[in-house]
Amino acid sequence: MRNNRTTIYFKYGSMNSGKSLELIKVAFNYKENSIESLILKPRIDIRKPGFIFSRTGLELKANEFDIENSREIKDFLDKVDKKYSVILVEEANFLSPEIVDILVEYAYNNEVNTLMFFGLKNDFRGNLFEGSKRIIEIADKIEESTSICWCGKKARQNARVINNELIKSGPTVLIDNNQEVNYEVLCNYHFWESQLKPWDKNEI
C-alpha cells in the first residue's frame, strides 16, 4: 500500500558540521522508543567499512551498497524481510538521482513514515552534488547543520586542499585518507577568494 504519510528529509551541511553524529543520535532516539531504523550507506568511504562513524568516536553499523549499481540496492530492498517505518541514509550526496528515486519509491510503497537523507550539499568546486540536487527537488523538509569558517562566519563550502593549496578541479570523489589530500570548510566569501586559514592567527 502506498503511503502518503511518508516524510522525506534532507539534513545537509558542510564537513565537520555533525551530520554523522546527528544520524547516530536520530537512530538512537528511535531505538529508545522501540522503533528500529534501516541504516544505509554507500560503499565509497573505505576508512571504516560497514559503519557510520562520528569524529566524536561514536559509530553505528550500516548496510552498504554500490553507488554505481542500482540493481544492488533494488535487490537488497526486495530482500528486506521486515517493515521499517524509518530509513536513514548516510553520505546521500554520493547517490545517483536514480538511486535516490529508488529509495523514495520504496518508502512510498512500504509504509515508511520517515526517509531521512544526510549529506553534503556542495562538492569541492562549490557545485551541487547530483544526489543532493535530486533530494532537494523531492524533499518535504530541508535542514542545515552548521560548521564555522576560520573567520568565524558560517561555513557552507568544502574546500579540497592538496599540498596546502586550494584545488577546484579534479575527480568529484576523493576521500581524505590520503596524506596529501585534506578538506577545509570555508564561508562562501573565503571559498570564492580561495583563501585558506592563515598560518599566523594575527593575520585574521
Distance CA 37, CA 61 (A): 11
Which is it for the CA torsion 178, 132, 103, 171, positive or negative? Answer: negative
Distance CA 39, CA 88 (A): 5
Report whether pLDDT(178) > 60.
no
Domain boundaries, given as residue ranges, for the chain = 7-146
pLDDT for res 132 = 97
What are the C-alpha distances in Å from 88 to residues 14, 70, 117? 18, 18, 6
pTM: 0.88
* 197 close to 150: Cβ distance less than 8 angstroms: yes
* 174 vs 131, residue with greater confidence: 131
Q: How confident is the model at residue 180 (pLDDT cuts 50, 70, 90)?
A: confident
Report whether pLDDT(1) > 80.
no
pLDDT for res 6 = 94
Q: Across residues 55-84, what is the average pLDDT?
A: 88
For 37-69, what is each residue's pLDDT tens digit?
Answer: 999 999 887 677 778 888 777 888 999 998 888
Report whether pLDDT(200) > 60.
no
Q: Across residues 81-95, what is the average pLDDT?
A: 93
Report whether pLDDT(147) > 70.
yes
Catalytic residue among 22, 64, 90, 91: 91
Q: What is the CATH number that goes with domain 7-146?
A: 3.40.50.300
* Residue matched to cell numbers 529508545: 32
Instruction: Judge whether 91 counts as a catalytic residue.
Output: yes
Instruction: Identify the CA nearest to 25 among candidates 39, 15, 13.
Output: 39
